[in-house]
Amino acid sequence: MNQHTQDIVKGHKMGYDDILQLDSACVWHPYSAMGKDQPIFAVESAIGVRLRLADGRQLIDGMSSWWCAIHGYNHPVMNEAIKVQLEQMSHVMFGGLTHQPAVMLAEKLVSLTPQALNSVFFSDSGSVSVEVAMKMAIQYWHDKGQPGKQHFLTIRSGYHGDTFGAMSVCDPVTGMHSLFSAVLTPQYFVDAPACRFGESCTDSDLAQMKTCLEQNNQHIAAVILEPVVQGAGGMRFYSAEYLKQIRQLCTEHNVLLILDEIATGFGRTGRLFACEHANIVPDIMCLGKALTGGYMTLAATLTTAEISSTISSGSPGLFMHGPTFMANPLACSAALASIDLLLSTPWQEKIRQIEKILHDNLAVCRQMEGVADVRVLGAIGVVELDRAVDMHTIQYEFVAQGVWVRPFGKLIYLMPPYVIEETDLHTLTAAVVNIVKNLSP
């Protein structure tokens, strides 16, 4: 055991540079290359909406830790829920056993999500919840005597996760997974709708989807979509009317509808779930990210009694999936606390306040050189550029302004914790405006 490891084990505090040195030698970060210079910052602690770096600097968090920390950090209610559960049990296998946090959480999710979604399957992450949804759809049709329905239909510019099934329904061209195309299951793709959120949906927006369903419904198990907001595939906001029409088309052509609410669930768009903008009920829904308020990794896939009973009474008479850490008691307790905390506050009003500030403060970027679009929905603000940003410089620039904003591709966006104060939100938006204004042509 080297000295650095001994220091960690003994609880000794490492210096900022020491942390980064050890990180560089041993740690492989998401979407990064080992052994190459990259912007990495060591966090010592976090409270409220502030990340405290190990060298003493503080950053206002504009990312909610990839959209999940809706209550900010170190919240006393969340902390207490974890402590109480930890004294009882941190984990127990879910095969043949159950526990109060899991059954209470399942009941709560059934009560909050659209009517008819009454069977809950827990998993560890958003990507896995998508895998579960896809397997549910395929197994359902197999047990309905239609084993040929093995494929999925979706729109371009989507993102559903990094595992193999999820990758297959991400955008095959602009997505992050093109190098795996030879081993991914081929799926059906149509153009994303041109109708923006708040606009009407035209026949041309639906034409490709309608044609594909008419011609291939015998092969399609489900349409899978991110409702209203496409996340990491492009941060696009599309018409709720389009989503409503897709629901009707799926019903007409005997195809299931899977809604991936991993990024949009629990208030981010101004509704508790984004599908509420269209007032529709999916056959399967995926939840994750904000489910636990960012405290623990947990996801859930909800479906109808028709699907769960068909799978349970078919062959082999059980659903073929079972994560080791399924329904972890700590995570379920965190989720219960997070949901109760959210619903006990005037969260809709807070989202509207965040939306107004994002809208008003980011609007000036529309007139700036190199800006292709500015769009805001709920607690999501996006500045889309006409070219990709240089992450090796822009990340340092944001940190220098005292904020944590992590752009990707052509997108500079904000998804702050719901608890953010107006002054901090003004600081975040000012940093975005300043950096966009000073980007080199």
Q: Is residue 418 located within the same domain as residue 335?
A: no
The answer on 270 and 208 residing in a single domain is yes
pLDDT digits (tens, 9 = 90+) for 371-384: 999 999 999 999 99
Cα 163 to Cα 31, 108, 155: the distances in Å are: 14, 28, 18
Catalytic residue among 10, 31, 36, 203: 31
CATH number reported for the structural domain that contains residue 416 in this entry: 3.90.1150.10
Establish if 184 belongs to a structural domain. yes
Give domain status of residue 7, yes or no.
no
Q: Picking from 59-63, 236-240, 333-337, 391-395, which range would have the lowest pLDDT averaged per residue?
A: 391-395
Asked if residue 184 and residue 317 are part of one domain, the reply reads yes
Instruction: Mark whether 159 is an active-site residue.
Output: yes
User: Is the same domain home to 245 and 333?
Assistant: yes
Which residue among 316, 343, 370 closes a domain? 343
pLDDT, tens digit (0-9, with 9 covering 90-100), for 61-81: 999 999 999 999 999 999 999
The one catalytic residue in 124, 162, 171, 260 is 260
Residue 183 one-letter amino acid: V
373 near 381, Cβ under 8 Å? Answer: no
Same domain for 300 and 321, yes or no, is yes
Q: Is residue 29 part of a domain?
A: no
Residue after which a domain boundary falls, among 317, 343, 369: 343
Burial of 324 (0-12, 13-18, 19+ CB in 10 A): exposed
In a domain, 163, yes or no: yes
Residue 162 bears catalytic tag: no
Average pLDDT in the 83-103 region? 98
So what's the pLDDT on residue 7? Answer: 55
Report pLDDT for 179: 86
Q: What is residue 248's predicted lDDT score, i.e. its pLDDT?
A: 98
**Do residues 79 and 52 lie in contact, with contact meaning Cβ atoms separated by under 8 Å?**
no
The answer to the question of residue 25 being in a domain is: no
Q: Is 144 a catalytic residue?
A: no
Instruction: Tell me if 5 is assigned to some domain.
Output: no
Whether residues 150 and 218 share a domain: the answer is yes
What's the pLDDT score for residue 10? 58
pLDDT above 50 (res 1): no
Q: Which residue type sits at 138?
A: I
Residue with tokens 């059980």: 318
Phi, psi angles (nearest 5°) of residue 425: -70, -35
Q: CA-to-CA distance for 280 and 115, rounded, in angstroms?
A: 10
Mean pLDDT throughout 297-307? 98
Residue 176 has pLDDT above 50, yes or no: yes
For the stretch 97-128, pLDDT in tens is 999 999 999 999 999 999 999 999 999 999 99
| Cβ-based burial of 70 (10 A; exposed 0-12, middle 13-18, buried ≥19) | buried
- Left, alpha or beta for 408 (phi > 0: left; psi -120 to 50: alpha)? beta
192-196 mean pLDDT: 97
Asked whether residue 240 falls in the same domain as residue 357, the answer is no
Is residue 3 situated within a structural domain?
no
CATH number for the domain spanning 147: value is 3.40.640.10
E strands, 72-182, where?
A: 117-123, 151-155
Picking from 322, 343, 364, the residue at the C-terminal end of a domain is 343
Q: How many domains does the chain have?
A: 2
Same domain, 159 and 209: yes
Q: Which helix (H) or strand (E) holds 135?
A: helix 126-143
Q: Are residues 179 and 270 in the same domain?
A: yes
Same domain as 371, residue 226:
no
Same domain, 389 and 259: no
Known active-site residue 289:
yes
* Domain housing 67: 39-74+346-437
How many whole angstroms from its chain centre is CA 51?
21
Same domain, 317 and 174: yes
> How far is 245 from 223, CA to CA, in rounded Å?
12
- The answer to whether position 45 is within a domain reads yes
DSSP letters, 339-388, are HHHHHTTTHHHHHHHHHHHHHHHHGGGGGSTTEEEEEEETTEEEEEESS-
Of 159, 238, 242, 295, the catalytic one is: 159
Average pLDDT over residues 401-426: 97
The tens digit of pLDDT for each residue in 5-48 reads: 555 545 678 999 999 999 999 999 998 999 888 899 999 999 99
What would the mean pLDDT of 177-189 be, rounded to a whole number?
90
Q: Mean pLDDT score of the chain, rounded to an integer?
A: 95
